[in-house]
Each structure stands twice: as C-alpha cells, then as structure tokens.
Amino acid sequence: MMQNSFGILFVLLSVIFINACQSSSEIESTVNTDNHSVVTIQDKLSSDKLAPELVVIPTGTHTLGDISGIGIEVEQPTYKVTIEKPFAIGKYEVTFEEYDYFCDMTGRRKPDSEGWGRGKRPVIDVTWYDAQEYVEWLTRRTGEHYFLPSEAQWEYAARAGTITNYWWGDEAGDKNAQCGDCAAIHRCVDCKNVPLIDEGTVKVGSFRPNQFGLYDVHGNVAEWTADCGNHRNSSTPSQGYPRSTGDCSAHVMKDGSWFNNIRFIRSSVRVIPPDGNEYQGKHVGFRVAREIK
C-alpha cells in the first residue's frame, strides 16, 4: 500500500514538475523505473559541461533508522520523517569526471584514484569540507541551491518507500551492490574483466536503481551528509532538515562502501568518522542534493 502511494505521488509530481520547470539552464527528462515515473533534472555548468544528474524525490512520511532491529546503537531509535516539499538528489554518487572538472576550474588538488580509474567511478579520498565546497561551487555556477543531503533526506531517498534492510529486500541477493562480502561482488551488470579477488569501487550505475531511480545507495562508497555527529538518532519526528546539534566537527556518513560487509551497507547504517570532517579514504565519497523552487 505504501509503495502504491509513492507511485501515485510520483506520477502527480511528474506532471506538475514538467509544467513548472522549463528553464534554459537545466535539462529535464522522464523515465519509468519499476512502474515509477522518475523525473530527472540536470543543470548546465558551461556550453559543454553539466552538473550531476538529479532525481526528484516526492513528499511523504516514512520510518527511518534500525527498523529490522539487527543494527547497532548508533542506528537507534527509529523515527518518523515527513518530507513536505520535493527535493532533488544525485542519481549517482559524484564521479571523478565531475569532481575533476571542479578541481580544474578552481585550481584544487585532484584526489587519488587508488589506481582503479577515474571517469565514471565515484570520487574518493574527499573530506567533508571538500564535498561542502563542491556543492557551494555548484550553487555559484548554476544559481540553484545545491547542498549535501541531510541524513533523513538521504535515508528517505535510499529506502524509496521500503522498510527492509536494503531497497530490494532483507537479504544480500545477487548483482545488487558492491561490498566486501556481497554475493554480487565483482559480478555487476556492467563490469567487464574485473578479477574476482580485486577490490575497490565500480562505475556508478553498474547495478539496478532503487524504486526512486537512485543508484548505489548500498555499497560502492560511503557518503557524507549535512548532519552533525550524534551517537543516536533523534527520537523527535523529523521534517528532513539536518541536525545542527551534536559534534559538528564530525558529520555523519551514510551507506557503507566496497570495503564494508553486507551488514554495514543497510539503509539505516550511519557512521561518525573518527577523524571528523577531515576524514578521507579510498571508501568515502558523496552525492549532492538540490532545492526545487
């Protein structure tokens, strides 16, 4: 019943959004994924460069946190989030191609790829400050308000109306994610000639998207959010805004990565990095979000 409601909301949102957002600064398209109408937008950065592709996330109410009860204390308690206004979030994790262009335009150091390749692989080795400066740069270049998603927005979008450990169910399954002991490790749909004993990231979009049309919300890289570090979820219902109380020198990361086992790529997983906002590693990246006016 919940998923049917999300589908109806998505269809209605698609009609409204297509009529309302005809800007010369963005490209818009609509595709169908698992019977859901997925609206995507993409802002122009220059005559030949585009900002990350975004998916419009509908309004609704959902339960977040350790719903299944198999997590750890930091994932508790469960709480309700009510998204009253649609927002857009990255269809994929930010790629090296996108982040390298940002570095070229701003004279920043390009992060290490660990020898796995750049291009369409998710950017890694970025701090929270790096991610924050990237969304601020996108805001300046496009005139649209880009930001790091809040933890609640991120999990709401990742779950896409589901209450299971992963958007596809409670079990690891096959060909679903890139993680340390996933059944599908190095057998993704689009990966060619990847040794079974190899490690690391895979190209974004190598696996199926969730019901909202988002890719790699489980595994590949852990993702920075806008929430200050707290060792438990708030018991207060959320409207999706970032938590600005707690340890703001260590923002929350969501998802889990190629490095983590299947238990630690569940939707409710949350990590407070030991080195705070300066933390960076070969398993850490991010995706962007954008306000819809």
pLDDT in tens, 67-77: 999 999 999 99
| Residue 187, pLDDT above cutoff 60 | no
Tokens of 259: 């490095």
What is the average pLDDT across 18-44? Answer: 59
For strands 222-229 and 284-285, give the pairing: parallel
Phi, psi (deg, nearest 5) at residue 31: -130, 160
146 conformational bin, left if phi > 0, alpha if psi -120 to 50, beta if neither? beta
CA distance 168 to 107: 41
Question: Domains plus CATH for the chain?
Answer: 2-291 (3.90.1580.10)
Q: Which residues pair with 229 in a beta bridge?
A: 247
What pTM was computed for the model? 0.86
Residue 199, pLDDT score: 75
More confidently predicted of 146 and 27: 146
**pLDDT given at position 247:** 97
Reading the block at residue 283, the tokens are 């398993």
pLDDT at residue 192, as a whole number: 55
**Distance, CA of 216 to CA of 177 (rounded, Å):** 7
